[in-house]
Structure 1
Amino acid sequence: MKAKVLFFDDIFSDIFREKHLKEELAWDDNWIDSISKSLDESTQRIGVSFEIIKSGEIDAWEALIKKENPDIILLDLFWVEQAQQKYNDRNRAVDISMDVMQQVRKSFPSIPVVCYTIKPDYQLMERAYEAGATFFLEKVPLAIPEVHSSLKYILIYLIRQVQKENLIMEPDF
């Protein structure tokens, strides 16, 4: 099985990288590397090949989805630098992802969207689900692929659910 993951995170954006020192980015970079390694190891062990498309261009979400045709989307909830640029208010960082998620749901309702952030609270999780999140993850501070191993099984499950729904909708002639 092949699965394409469109991975939206501000850590991939030029605007974020320009505003932060390399030392400030180390934790996020290690976390991203850990997830990538965990998904890369899947091919050998469980027969699923994940292709990861990383993007920090949240405003280009629609063009990227149309171009890449992902099976699933991973979406960071906080886009601090983009919120500063768009709203002149860093405190509205979550508004960026919530707006995009609602638009994704309207245009691509069947694509699973997995949201994540560090230390979410109940209200944030509820807001994400109301905006259209399929699943919610806490960004675990350990950057060890084995810690993130369960993510691949969650992704596989969500992709299979969509595949089953698509089979049910297609007429069997």
Structure 2
Amino acid sequence: MHKQDFETLESEAAEAVAALGRAAYERRVAVTVKSINCLLTNVPARPGVYWIETSMPSERLQEAIGATTGKARRTRKMPPKGVKLILQEGDDAYIAYSGTEGNLQSRLAQHLFNRGNAQTIKLGCAVDLAPYSEYSWQVYYTVIDQAVLRYAVEAWWRQEVGWPVFCLR
């Protein structure tokens, strides 16, 4: 393949990923989460990308996760080059975490209800218990079957919108 052909293909692929990323974010489904039943009845056990939004201040969330899991929860202090961190503004809700997974329902249960193995990297919240329950929790998701496209959308979103402080990589 000639250099010019490669550059054209690269440009077209970048445009396609951006279009898919915008479409995935625009058509995301919102679910307010107050109990595990909210996830089990409203989030499919399908592959996709997800975003976790809360009004819980990040410092308080970090402390609460440490108390819930027994492990210190680190946050990202500096974003990757050319990307901004998503920070809470006042008492507004903010995206604390985003990701991609083969089973959205299971993965969100790990994050929001501390399910799964203790070694699993997750938020490790218990949003149906205090202090988490004092704040709003919402998840957004878009089903995307192909893993490579999920990862592309996740990377595009973080590059274009910002990097959630609880996402270390």
Is this a same-fold pair by TM over 0.5?
Answer: no
Q: Which structure dedicates a bigger proportion of its chain to helix?
A: 1
Which has more radius of gyration? 2
The higher-RCO structure (CA 8 Å, 6+ apart) is 2
Band the TM-score falls in, shorter-chain normalisation: under 0.3
TM-score by length of 2: 0.26
